[in-house]
Amino acid sequence: MTDQNPDTMEVDRPKPEVDVDQSNQLKAEANELFKLEKYPDAIDLYSKAIDFNPTNAVLYANRSISHLKVESFGYALADANKAIECDKNYLKAYYRRAAAHMALGKYKMALKDYEIVYKLIPANKDAKTKFTLIPANKDAKTKFTECKKIVQTIAFHKAIAIEEKVKAVADEIDIDGITVEDSYDGPRLQEGKVTVEFMTQLLEHFKAQKKLHRKFALKILYDIKQYFQAQSSLVDIKVGDGKKFTICGDIHGQYYDLMNIFSLNGQPSEENPYLFNGDFVDRGSFSVECIFALFGFKLLYPDHFFMSRGNHESENMNKMYGFEGEVKAKYSSQMVDFFTEVYNWLPLAHCINNKILVMHGGLFSKDGVTLDDIRKTERNRQPPEEGIMCELLWSDPQGMQGRSASKRGVGCQFGPDVTERFLENNGLDYIVRSHEVKENGYELMHDGKCITVFSAPNYCDTMGNKGAFITLKGGDLRPEFTSYVHVPHPNVKPMAYANSLLSLFG
């Protein structure tokens, strides 16, 4: 997910003469918008303030954190670098750059910036200096220490992987040997299988904020991994003439809004098939409930319920944005590793009736990619920083022709001409993707040939957006859009399980 205005930093506007007073006025207005969590609007005003005073490091740092808020990590990194270029002693800019590096999974580079802040920030700040604008020395040390632990942990796991073949979690667990306590009053698998009765009970069990027993949770993960391992990276879906099919976008741990989708559009069944297009978890604090509900329906209706991998079905994202912390709180570290194994086997894209390609992110940094290239893509891994898999999970459309560097720092941005050539070369009618908040939950770009659908309304309890889903029928495959508002959820805030390093975004 990221902001609703992807071309903010790409706009070519006439540069006014330096006017510090005008710049400061725009900065003050932008600061107020930031406080109101209107980040795209704040970005626009910070950009105008920069035009009037292009050497002010504070403006770039403020725009950087605004980009961090909307997950435009590439832009956030560029602004932090510019702030440091303007004033190499402005330590707050190093905080911003560290946060951008963390968000991009570049932990060693983040550690270098935290070290700069930790070692250079004065222990006793002069109230008249700019150092009053940054966290205290104690906080700087904490961030440095936490980031260092992450770097050391990653290095340790890599060393182990080199020295010995690490066994899969699925091969180490004796599920049959796990005892279900008499006090457990939740749903139970029938002879180890998901049934309609199990799913009905599970959804209500989760609504009541109760936990699925570890034995059944592990069995679902074991079975779903076996299923996904047998699938192609590109799954073909056939929808019969006149038959209904539904596509949903990002859910992001908003379980009660997921239940609202089923209330509005009917629960999944063989007559009511669904495709959920990635980012099932993170941010929202009911991600465990979401993923087990979705995996349960996949096992119950394997040929009528589909799931694509999103950029948040990855180790780095889960470590930062809450899913890892939530799984540890509700289950265990071992189950975190099991989820990672499962996510590595999620399909990367789906093709409906040979006419609609559905992926989480978007298209590619070069022409000539075919559906067969996607089918052949090796996916049993963490998302790489470039190539077909990366771009399927991370890319975004843009209004202008051609391609440009990604606002996220990963993937690319692609224009209507890129979409047109890809569709023509592969005999497709249009593409559907998710990955971005939209005011009404959906957006049509590129002459209607690139459709975005986002299904998490009032994202993170702050954005005020609607959610949406797409319904179509086999035959004409014409998309119909249903928008909806958020529903109440228990008093557990989004990001409740997120990594403490994300406090830098505040």
Return the structure tokens found at 291: 């993923």
DSSP string, 35-81: HTT-HHHHHHHHHHHHHH-TT-HHHHHHHHHHHHHTT-HHHHHHHHH
164 in a domain, yes or no?
no
Give mean pLDDT, residues 42-50.
97
DSSP string, 454-481: B--TTGGGTS-PPEEEEEEEBTT---EE
Q: What is the CATH number of the domain that holds 263?
A: 3.60.21.10
DSSP 8-state code for residue 376: T
Q: Name the residue among 277, 272, 213 with its Cα closest to residue 441.
A: 277
Give mean pLDDT, residues 69-96.
92
At residue 325's C-alpha, the angle toward residues 359 and 138, to 5°, is: 120
Q: Does the pLDDT at position 463 exceed 50?
A: yes
166 in a domain, yes or no?
no
Give mean pLDDT, residues 411-433.
98
Q: Does the pLDDT at position 410 exceed 50?
A: yes
Same domain (yes/no): 155, 191: no
List residues bridging with 352 in a β-sheet: 237, 356
Same domain (yes/no): 232, 149: no
Same domain (yes/no): 341, 280: yes
Domain count, the chain: 2
C-alpha 297: how far from chain center: 22
Instruction: Spot the catalytic one: 205, 213, 252, 312.
Output: 312
HSE-CB for 391 with a 13 A CA cutoff: 20
pLDDT-derived band at 122 (thresholds 50, 70, 90) equals low
Q: State residue 128's pLDDT score.
A: 45
What 3 state SS string does 195-230 have?
Answer: CHHHHHHHHHHHHCCCCCCHHHHHHHHHHHHHHHHC
Query: Which residues, other chains included, contact 314 with Cβ-Cβ below 8 Å and sequence gap of 6+?
Result: 343, 382, 383, 393
Same domain (yes/no): 211, 150: no
Q: Does the pLDDT at position 346 exceed 70?
A: yes
Q: State residue 158's pLDDT score.
A: 62
181 in a domain, yes or no?
no
205 is catalytic: no
Domain range spanning residue 17?
8-159
Residue 138: Cβ-neighbour burial (10 angstroms; 0-12, 13-18, 19+): exposed
More confident residue, 159 or 85: 85
Q: Does the pLDDT at position 126 exceed 70?
A: no
Phi, psi for 346 (deg, rounded to 5): -60, 140
Phi, psi for 330 (deg, rounded to 5): -95, -25
Same domain (yes/no): 28, 119: yes
Q: State residue 230's pLDDT score.
A: 96
385 in a domain, yes or no?
yes
pLDDT-derived band at 131 (thresholds 50, 70, 90) equals very low
Q: Does the pLDDT at position 506 exceed 60?
A: no
Give the C-alpha separation, 293 to 226, whole Å: 18
Q: Please list, residue by residue across 427-456, b when 16 or more beta carbons sit within 10 angstroms of its beta carbon and e when fewer do.
A: ebebbbbbbbbbeebbbebbeebbbbbbbb
- Put the strands of the sheet holding 356-359 in their side by side order: 234-237, 349-352, 356-359, 430-433, 450-453, 442-445
Q: Name the residue among 468, 479, 452, 485 with its Cα closest to residue 2.
A: 452
**Dihedral class, residue 252 (left if φ above 0, else alpha if ψ from -120 to 50, else beta):** left
Return the structure tokens found at 459: 């994202």
Q: State residue 119's pLDDT score.
A: 74
pLDDT-derived band at 502 (thresholds 50, 70, 90) equals low
Domain-terminating residue out of 139, 159, 179: 159
Q: State residue 95's pLDDT score.
A: 86
Q: What is the pLDDT of residues 188-227, one digit of tens each?
A: 999 999 999 999 999 999 999 999 999 999 999 999 999 9
Q: State residue 159's pLDDT score.
A: 63
Positive or negative, the Cα torsion across 224, 431, 459, 78? Answer: positive
DSSP 8-state code for residue 178: P
Same domain (yes/no): 346, 458: yes
Give mean pLDDT, residues 249-265.
98
Whether the CB-CB separation of 344 and 314 falls below 8 Å is answered with no
Same domain (yes/no): 407, 457: yes
Query: Which residues, other chains included, contact 82 with Cβ-Cβ below 8 Å and sequence gap of 6+?
Result: 57, 60
204 in a domain, yes or no?
yes
Return the structure tokens found at 194: 């998901």
Same domain (yes/no): 155, 260: no
Give the C-alpha separation, 437 to 468, whole Å: 10
Q: Does the pLDDT at position 39 exceed 50?
A: yes
Same domain (yes/no): 25, 78: yes
Q: Name the residue among 386, 388, 375 with its Cα closest to residue 233.
A: 375
Q: Does the pLDDT at position 1 exceed 80?
A: no
The pLDDT > 90 percentage for the chain reads 76
Whether the CB-CB separation of 504 and 98 falls below 8 Å is answered with yes
Same domain (yes/no): 357, 439: yes
The average confidence (pLDDT) of the chain is 90
Q: State residue 2's pLDDT score.
A: 43
Q: State residue 416's pLDDT score.
A: 98
319 in a domain, yes or no?
yes
Give mean pLDDT, residues 250-255.
98
2 in a domain, yes or no?
no
Q: What is the CATH number of the domain that holds 39?
A: 1.25.40.10
Q: State residue 500's pLDDT score.
A: 76
Whether the CB-CB separation of 352 and 237 falls below 8 Å is answered with yes
Q: Name the residue among 412, 424, 429, 426 with its Cα closest to residue 362.
A: 412
Q: State residue 504's pLDDT score.
A: 53
Same domain (yes/no): 424, 361: yes
Same domain (yes/no): 149, 192: no
The pLDDT > 70 percentage for the chain reads 90
Q: State residue 93's pLDDT score.
A: 92
235 in a domain, yes or no?
yes
| Least confident span in 15-29, 185-199, 261-275 | 15-29
Give the C-alpha separation, 63 to 51, whole Å: 13
Domain-terminating residue out of 144, 159, 174: 159
Give mean pLDDT, residues 453-470.
96
Q: What is the pLDDT of residues 87-107, one digit of tens each?
A: 998 988 998 998 898 888 888
Q: State residue 165's pLDDT score.
A: 55
